[in-house]
Structure formats: C-alpha cells, structure tokens
Structure 1
Amino acid sequence: MTLDCIIDKQSVLANVKARNKKQLLQELSQALSAIVAVDHRIIFETLLKREKLGSTGIGQGIAIPHGKVPSLNRVYGLFARLSQPVDFDSVDSQPVDLVFVLLAPEHAGADHLKALAKISRVLRDPGIVEKLRGTESSEGLYAILTEPAMTIPPASAA
C-alpha cells in the first residue's frame, strides 16, 4: 500500500492554523468534507467521538485522528502540517504539529487497519518527519508522502 492510494494533492495542507484541538478537528473536518462529499459536522463528530475514547496523539508531535463514516466507499486521508503546534492530549504530552486524518467506510475493517499501520510507520520514521517539518508547501509535503521509497513493506515482512 502506498499513501497516494489514500491522499491526493488536494488533501495535503501546509501551515494550518488552529488554537486548540477542537478547532483543529473542525478545520480538518471542513477540508475533508469538500474531498469526500460528506457533511463536515458528521466528520467532526466522528473524529471527536474517537478522541473521547483516547487521544490519537501518538507522540513526538504527531496525531492520527481516525474514524469510520458509513457513506464512504473507500479509505480517505488528509495530511496537515500546522503553522504552530497545538495541545492534543498526546501520550507524551507534547503539542502536535503533524496530523494525518484517516476516514474509512463502516465496512472497511482490514483496509482501515492497513492504512493506519502504514501511516504510523511513515510518521515514526525520523528522517521523513524531519523532511515534513522542514517543508513549507503542500506540493512539497505531498511529494515527500508519496515518493516511491514510501512503499514500505508490512511490519511482518521486515
């Protein structure tokens, strides 16, 4: 699996501004709404519901909010690099500046998990994270996330 199966150029955002976690999730829900043709309130409520189960802030300034939306026909993603980090109740208490939102159809069990695992592996690579933090444009971020070297074998194959 490659990330270009999940994101396209329109779903990569640079310099997103938000004051807090709730505002950030609202902003990203609005952006995703235009991509997936689902009401932004449904997306926001889906992400908020998941956050209430436990923060999706995985540490080192990274969050992977995710959820399932019944009307979707495939897995969609949106990547955002924030202009200023925001508190996200992350496991390491560090504010977040890199966010990868993942939305999946209600029935996408394995696909959803594969996408989450892929995103997690990519965002745990210090070299990739350094490149993402040093890139100012959406186009540059998209190129980093979708470069051919990003075809990472599943963890079990390593």
Structure 2
Amino acid sequence: MAIADLFPDAKGVLHLAPANKDELLGTLATEAAQRLGRPVQEILDALQGRERLGSTALGRGIAMPHARLPGPDAKLAILARLDRPIEFDARDGEPVDLVFLVLWPEDASEGFLPALSGICRALRDTHFPRQLRQAKSAEEALLLLREADTPHAA
C-alpha cells in the first residue's frame, strides 16, 4: 500500500506537544476516535495493549504505534511531529519526535503489514525523517509523504 493512500490529506499530519508517551497515546487516541467515530477508550486500550508487548519505537527518534480494531471502518494513519522529543522506550535510547500512528481493521489482514513496511521502507532513507522534521507545514509534510513512494532519478 502506498504511503500516500494512508495520508490522503494534510489532516493526517499533526503538530503536538505531549509531556510523555502516555499523554501522546491519549492525544492520538482522542484524535483517531473523532475521525473514526469510535470511543476514545477503545483506541487507547488497543494502543496501550500493543505497547505492553514491546515499544513501537523504531529508533532514530521515530515511533510507529499501531493496533488492529474491530469493524471495517478502522483504517487510519496519522503523522505527529512533536515539539519536544519524549521518552518512548526505544532500543537505541533516543527520544521520539516523529510518530506514525497506524490503525487497521482486524478483519482486513491484507494491507496492514504492507502499510507498516511501506512507512519503514521510506524511513530507511536518512534524509526522509530529517525532511519531515523540517517541513514548515502539514501540507509540506504531506507532500514529502507522497514523494516517499516515488522513485527518485539517479
């Protein structure tokens, strides 16, 4: 699945200032609940349950909290850029300032792993996270997300 399909518009990019991981997950759950028309606690419980299995921090200041939810309407991705990095239990010890939230329907197994791996593949380019951090607007960050799927000429 293309990253651009996960982020159809600039509303998928947030600028946040959480004090810690719990506050971040709560804010993301609230935002996701509003967009999906679902209870905040359902989403927060799913995200916290996944984090109990192990941190979703990827390293280099990036995290990808993700969860599967019941129902066909549970597909959502949000990029959050944080004002200040926060502790996220990353293996490399780096605090997190870029967060990719991915929610997916439990019954739609196809697409979930490709969505996660597509984001990870784009993040392998060390310039991409830096560009996202320096984007001056949600629209500019969205353009970078869309360009991440486009092969660059040598």
Question: What is the TM-score of this pair, normalised by structure 2?
Answer: 0.91
Alignment of 1:124-143 (within 5 A): 124-143=124-143
> Residues of 2 paired with 1:145 and 1:9: CA distance?
10
> Residues of 2 paired with 1:52 and 1:13: CA distance?
25
> Residues of 2 paired with 1:75 and 1:123: CA distance?
21
Question: What is the TM-score of this pair, normalised by structure 1?
Answer: 0.89
> Residues of 1 paired with 2:125 and 2:110: CA distance?
23
Kept after mapping to 1: 8 A contact 2:4/2:149:
no
SS of corresponding position for 1:150: coil
Identity in percent: 38
Q: Which amino acid aligns with 2:90?
A: S
Report the aligned-residue RMSD: 1.4
Q: Which amino acid aligns with 1:10?
A: K
SS of corresponding position for 1:110: coil
Partner residue, 1:150? 149
Alignment of 1:2-151 (within 5 A): 2-7=2-7, 8-14=9-15, 16-73=16-73, 75-147=75-147, 149-151=148-150
Deviation of the 1:122 alpha carbon: 1.3
SS of corresponding position for 2:102: strand
- The list of structure 1 runs, each at least 4 consecutive aligned residues, that deviate by more than 6 angstroms after superposition, is none
Q: Which amino acid aligns with 1:112?
A: F
Q: Which amino acid aligns with 2:17?
A: K
Kept after mapping to 2: 8 A contact 1:69/1:103:
yes
Q: How many matched pairs?
A: 150
Segments of structure 2 that go 5 or more residues without pairing to the other structure are none
Deviation of the 1:63 alpha carbon: 0.2
SS of corresponding position for 1:91: coil
Deviation of the 1:74 alpha carbon: 5.6
Q: Which amino acid aligns with 1:40?
A: V
Segments of structure 1 that go 5 or more residues without pairing to the other structure are 153-158
Deviation of the 1:72 alpha carbon: 3.6
> Residues of 2 paired with 1:127 and 1:79: CA distance?
17
